[in-house]
Amino acid sequence: MTAVDGVAAVGADVAHEGTALQKTARKLATMTRDSVKTVIAASMVGTAIEFYDFYAYGTAAANYFPKVFFGQTGAAALIGSLLTFAVAFIARPVGSLIFGHFGDRMGRKTTLVVSLMTMGVATFLIGCLPTYAVWGGWAVVLLVACRFVQGIGLGGEWSGAALVATENAPDDKRALYGSFPELGAPIGFFLSNGTYFLLETFTDSDDMLAWGWRVPFLLSAVLVIVGLVVRVRMEETPVFRLAQQENKVVKAPLTEVFRKSWKQVLQATFLVAVTYTLFYTLATWSLAWGTKTVEQGGGGLGFTNREYLLMLMVAICVFAAFIVLSCLYADRVGRRRVLMFSSVALVVFSLAFPYLLMGHRNFAQVMVFLCVGFALMGIAFGPIGAFLPELFDANVRYSGSGIGYNLAAIVGAAFVPTIATWLSHNWGVRSVGLYLAVMALCCLVALVTTPETKDTDFTR
């Protein structure tokens, strides 16, 4: 073959590839898809329930479960209670393997309905459990079992919700659409905190220990029913239907992920892990630190639960605003640049924030800590809704993004309240800042090795 023939052949291949891409784009454009309102509701409701359930559990584990399920109020009981918090995070990768397999084979819609039901039933049952005073150690065993099942359901939730949003999005607005499931986080957080705030306003501590702690778990059933109604009515995503039409659906998506995309799974894990570490440092560890005495494993800052919950509810509005702002910017300049900024800023914040948590009942300092922390959380968390799915091909996207996201839950969240409580109790609050800084540096390393995905072909 002559050089001219070679150039001609390459040109023909490029032209053929261009024609194929145009044909795919035309097919995608003609497919029916859900309205923006339906996409928002279907993708947002699950993550709202996820964070509602997890934060309701985190709040209960920090404040009520040491007495309710361990019969004590000291540091050892607090650490034991927070260890049960970690169980669901360990279960989540198992859930992502199960739901990712079926999500990439059967579709996003059916899988999301089943994951929501699994998560909802387990959360409701936690609110029905007997206490340590009634069943002793068996009460803890049942709590751990329900927490594990809750984690299984949660393992299939985020990645499916992110795909419902991004696979229905215009190419130039994927990060904005990807913010819909991310906004479920502050919504769920606000609902959970608001429920506890109202309960602690109208009940005393004895009532909270007797029955009040159950209310947030039982009320989650309302959110689950709303979520199921929305998801049963939604359409399958156009990108998945296109993959079905073009016979791109694989029989063993998990095998494909670990064979071809193991590097992307690792990158996704460390891209997300720091957001989990930051969130549970701000929301769970700092709640215990601000409201408990030194003898109880806290920092002796002198705040009541009600006061600290109110401050968290104000700060969570900052979280929501910065999710949207970061996603709008990520659609303009790319995901990596936004996340690079947040990672560097988090290192600085990690070294500075301990000085804000050393006064007694200093509302201004704690509000600065919470608002700045949640602003950085919004910047780091927002673009993830588009960035992770863009790392994987359409036929393994549910599995790949789900495994990465849920492995991050183990690396970045499972033991955060426990580790942070132990560190602060033994080494002081600065050690918690160093812990967060290490996680931010891990994210930065992952970003350096990850390509920009803003202009990727999402149908590939």
pTM: 0.81
CB atoms within 10 A of CB 134: 9
Ramachandran category for residue 457: left, alpha or beta (phi over 0 → left; psi -120 to 50 → alpha): beta
Residue 126 three-state SS: helix
Q: What is the CA radius of gyration of the chain?
A: 23
Question: In angstroms, what CA-CA distances link 173 with 74, 131, 176, 239, 386?
Answer: 50, 48, 5, 15, 9
pLDDT tens for 210-245 read 899 999 999 988 888 888 888 777 776 676 777 667
Per-residue model confidence (pLDDT) at position 235:
75
Following DSSP, what letter does each residue of 283-347 receive, concatenated? IIIHHHHHHS-TTTTS------HHHHHHHHHHHHHHHHHHHHHHHHHHHHH-HHHHHHHHHHHHH
Residues near 17 by beta carbon (within 8 Å), at least 6 away in sequence: none
Which domains does the chain possess? 33-238+250-448 (1.20.1250.20)
Tokens 């560097």 correspond to what residue? 344
Per-residue model confidence (pLDDT) at position 34:
59
Per-residue model confidence (pLDDT) at position 249:
65
pLDDT per residue rounded down to tens, the chain (460 residues): 554 455 444 444 444 444 544 555 555 455 555 567 777 787 788 778 877 887 788 788 877 888 888 877 677 777 788 788 778 878 888 888 888 777 677 777 778 888 888 888 888 999 999 988 888 878 889 999 999 998 888 877 777 788 888 878 888 889 998 898 889 888 988 898 889 889 988 888 888 888 999 999 999 888 888 888 887 777 766 767 776 676 666 676 778 888 888 899 999 999 999 998 998 888 878 888 888 887 777 778 888 888 988 999 899 999 999 999 999 999 999 999 999 999 999 999 999 998 998 878 889 999 999 999 999 999 999 999 999 989 988 788 878 888 888 888 888 877 777 788 888 888 888 999 999 999 999 999 999 999 998 888 777 7
Per-residue model confidence (pLDDT) at position 102:
75
Residues near 98 by beta carbon (within 8 Å), at least 6 away in sequence: 152, 155, 156
CB atoms within 10 A of CB 263: 11
Contact between 410 and 351 under an 8 Å Cβ cutoff? The reply is no
Nearest in space to 109 (alpha carbons), one of 28, 177, 168: 168
Per-residue model confidence (pLDDT) at position 290:
86
Residues near 349 by beta carbon (within 8 Å), at least 6 away in sequence: 372, 373, 376, 436
Tokens 């995901």 correspond to what residue? 335
Following DSSP, what letter does each residue of 248-269 receive, concatenated? ---S-HHHHHHHH-HHHHHHHH
Residues near 383 by beta carbon (within 8 Å), at least 6 away in sequence: 175, 178, 326, 327, 330, 335, 338, 339
Nearest in space to 399 (alpha carbons), one of 262, 267, 274, 277: 262
Per-residue model confidence (pLDDT) at position 8:
45
Per-residue model confidence (pLDDT) at position 372:
96
pLDDT tens for 295-314 read 777 778 888 888 988 999 89
Q: With DSSP H G I counted as helix, E B as strand and the rest as coil, what are the percentages for the chain, rounded to 5? A: 85, 0, 15
Residue 156 three-state SS: coil
CA dihedral 86, 90, 95, 101 (to 10 degrees): 150
